[in-house]
Amino acid sequence: MAEQPLPERQSPLEPDYHPGSHGNFEHGVDVILSETRPGSILQLGAWPGEEKRLIEVIRKVTGLALPDGAGGGASSGARAVFGFAPGKFTVVDEAEGLAATFAGVITPAIGTLTDLSHGRTAIRIAGPKAEWVMAKFFAIDFALPAFPLGAGRSTNHHDIFAQIQRSGADQFDIYVFRSFARSFWKALCHASEEVGYEVQ
């Protein structure tokens, strides 16, 4: 069967996505909010004992080497990967079609692949007050030594499950359920008002 082109993806944030400066920005914009709209968001799971083989598959396909340890991750501009649970990883690519690439190499003996590209929304928060705003949402330590560059965390905000990756010293990428994304986005905008925020 010929490959059908995917329909253009609509952003769930659109009715409440207003580029420009908002809130208390007279003294400067301290966080920048944006939707990164990656083409591929995948969840990979390794069967018990197969984690090392899956990490090797991820390295071969994406070129990203996962560091040892819980919640470790890495990113390279267009691609990102991080552990969010024992033996489970989120892999993100700007381009569509990453699921097809992985489908051929994650054998049933290694683990599973779930394509969440249409099921998750990726929101980026960056700026000198990003840690501050994030700390109002999630009861985890956002300081750089406790949450190193590239690392991932699973947590939730009022029952909205969130996967968070630190993609810069003062930048975080948040992956939330698409169906809750607009509600989460509005809450994030409200939380950012006090520091002044810009939507890009």
Partner 1 sequence: MLITCPYCGPRDVIEFTYQGDGNRERPQPASQDLDAWNAYVYDRLNPAGDHNEIWQHSGGCRAHLRVVRNTITHEILSTAFARGGHKAEGRS
Q: How far apart are CA 160 and CA 143, in angstroms?
A: 22
Interface with partner 1 (CB under 8 A), residue from 104, 139, 143, 145:
139
143 binds partner 1, rule: CB under 8 A? no
Cβ-based neighbours of 4, under 8 Å, separated by 6 or more = none
Could you say which of 11, 88, 101, 115 contacts partner 1 (CB under 8 A)? 88
**Segments in 25-176 forming alpha helices (H):** 51-62, 98-103, 130-137
DSSP classification of residue 187: H
Choose between 162 and 195: whose C-beta lies nearer to partner 1.
Answer: 162
Nearer to partner 1 (CB atom), residue 60 or residue 158 = 158
**Could you tell me which stretch among 22-30, 81-89, 106-114, 191-199 binds partner 1 (CB under 8 A)?**
81-89
Cα separation, 128 vs 168, whole angstroms: 11
CA distances 59 to 65, 112, 121, 178, 182, Å, are: 5, 16, 24, 28, 33
Nearer to partner 1, 123 or 151 (CB): 151
86 contacts partner 1 (rule: CB under 8 A) = yes
For partner 1, the closer of residues 85 and 149 by Cβ is 85
**Could you say whether residue 111 binds partner 1 (CB under 8 A)?**
no
Asked if residue 89 lies in contact with residue 44, where contact means CB atoms within 8 angstroms, the answer is: yes
Which one of 154, 168, 171, 187 is in contact with partner 1 (CB under 8 A)? 154
71 binds partner 1 (CB under 8 A): yes
CA angle 56-36-140, nearest 5°? Answer: 70
Q: Which of 21, 28, 65, 70 binds partner 1 (CB under 8 A)?
A: 70
DSSP state of 102: H
Any contact of residue 166 with partner 1 (CB under 8 A)? no
Which residues contact partner 1 (rule: CB under 8 A)?
Answer: 48, 70-71, 84-86, 88, 139-140, 153-156, 159, 161
